Structure 1
């Protein structure tokens, strides 16, 4: 059977029924989880959705409280569950700690439905991305436990691929229909974007050091909860937007030329590469300038799809001055990156592939 035929048959298999379990949902600010679940509903409209803490953002299907899962799983004949993040995956089977006493951060044994899943022979499928309990300090035994309990594990990081035999590489999804390509105008100032939630690993002081070295030919759009870091910006050519909705983010990215990712190693937290915010911006044609602390080469090629820099303010500033002086060449890198994102990170195609693997088990 061809791959396309197998995917079509598996995603339309009426003998199997999927439930998605999330923590805080539907929540647009969760980014990839929101767009992924939108696509799951689009491609498998009989899917049931559950949340530990239901939220109120718009979504085309009812989202049930997790407390209703067992009764609905029986009455609606659920055969498969999909969830995201290591701590939720382990919580659902009640494996939140190891014999040595170490605990999985963010897990909750009260969410344990493991015996029910085993009794009903319901398969669990999980995506394990950075965050959600996966950090540089995570004991690999937690990953191996997830591998034993899950029928399928998807990931975008080598740590999981190495620890869990048979795990499948899938990039983070984005809504390329929303964040579509927008040609960049050759005009000054060069518009820069830095978008992230406030955390050490995002490298705000490093970004500020680079930005403070720039001339009036650059303007920074700062997105996120960075109120307590603004004093680090001695260069005042910036606009602080705070936290924005996806739709408002799109309008900012469309007018920007460059997205800055200044991530630094952090022993307590882990980012994938590229980050979700970087992928969103790249999809619109922004040139990604990144420190790439993971030295990731799985999809994006430096100097072809993005510009890689050393983690120093001077290196960041030098790369931005080069972009100003070689605008056409730089924007071609942005176009290459946007094309790579469209082909490899599109929510429709990634969800189609995930559902194919889930229902071919």
Structure 2
């Protein structure tokens, strides 16, 4: 690990000032991703700003009837929060599907939004990687790419974004609240992460001087008909090959509203509102679910080892929606 300087911030304003007054600075909270990357020299910030003492750990109601998750609340505290479990069980289940208990006890909600890809070549500093070193090339496209993206890829990068929490937040249409030198602003969850294009090293639309302060959940948590389906190589401590956050509002067997977000298949949580809308007014049948699954995977491209993920994702969407229909008996 390379040498770095360190400062502690007790409020958002100081944190932003510390970040912007030093070159190559990063915020650190739980450090469950950043420290690993520093140890293997994938990331080498020159200055770290400890934000763990800022009062951003609360989980509280919003005036709009939703719930605000503090950026520094841990994943564990969020998943087991009484209001999250009761009103947003999809989010609770998604968080608990990720990492391990020990990591969830340290990882923060804001940090979860900013975790970086687990692409093998990103972690291997002896191989070219446009995400790690822009312009060097993408080793994964012609390399071993079994776990990597099939949607939204480019000739510069086929990495996937690994968060489980973010997939549920995308389905719930959460918003991210941030603060920077120019003040506060809100970023819709669907606009927070970027597709790789020709700049895969720029992973979010968060400005360099901004800090995530909280995440807002809307009033509708789809608490009756939901599921988070995560398909992976082993039952725990494994990233998704494909994951699906599915949420439905039903009137009998008729779909009033549908939400679907995919993980493990793209550079960001993958959601197509136009495809979801085709389910409105339709019966909740496997046939209709297969139609929306085909729409979600339109344009998908495999790179050899990950070709199987296209069909796997389609089947996962159908299965997740069927499970969401059946969830009523458990709600």
TM-score, normalised with respect to structure 1: 0.26
Identify, as 1 or 2, the structure richer in helix. 1
TM-score, normalised with respect to structure 2: 0.27
